[in-house]
Amino acid sequence: MEHHPDILEMREHAERATSTTAGQGTEALAICAGLFLAISPWVVGFSGFTGLAISNLVLGIAYTVLMAGYGPAWGRTHARAWACAVIGVWTIIAPWAVNGGAHIRRTILTNVITGGVMTLLALAAVGMVFAGASGVARRRH
């Protein structure tokens, strides 16, 4: 990627995209979603599921840090947003994967809804940056 002929323009676009209202709103909502995931076992009341509680805490903090670092460099922004999309998908399947089938309704609802929101926000971040990168490539040709 560092040898791409339009890397400087792509980085500038990424910087502009993250400084827009939509970019800042996406980042703020993503931070809130990540923090909620981190505290959800204690807020929602399923801290008795230790594995899922630890998973939510660690992944919520990781998601928050990655999305809060939704930075100006195209490569970092793009990679972080994709990593956050993976975290969101894992959050959706975690009640079954981590608890081995032992779960209650609120663990499933919390993780599926929060994971879905996290995945959509991460994909929105990818879309904002990727749309501009493809536009840069089209203008070049």
- The tens digit of pLDDT for each residue in 90-112 reads 999 999 898 776 668 888 999 99
The first and second tokens of residue 36, run together, are 């909620």
The first and second tokens of residue 29, run together, are 């909502």
SS3 label, residue 19 = coil
Give 14's pLDDT tier (boundaries 50, 70, 90). low
pTM of the model: 0.78
Q: pLDDT per residue over 36-80, tens digit each?
A: 999 999 999 876 788 999 999 999 999 999 988 655 555 566 678
Tell me which H or E stretch contains 116: helix 105-140
Rg (CA), the chain: 17
Residue type, 59: L
* pLDDT of amino acid 89: 97
**Of 3 and 127, which is predicted with more confidence?**
127
Residue burial 76-91, b: 16+ Cβ < 10 Å; e: rest: ebbebbeebbebbebb
* pLDDT of amino acid 9: 63
Residue 137 has pLDDT above 50, yes or no: no
Q: At what angle do helices 105-140 and 50-68 cross, to 10 degrees?
A: 30
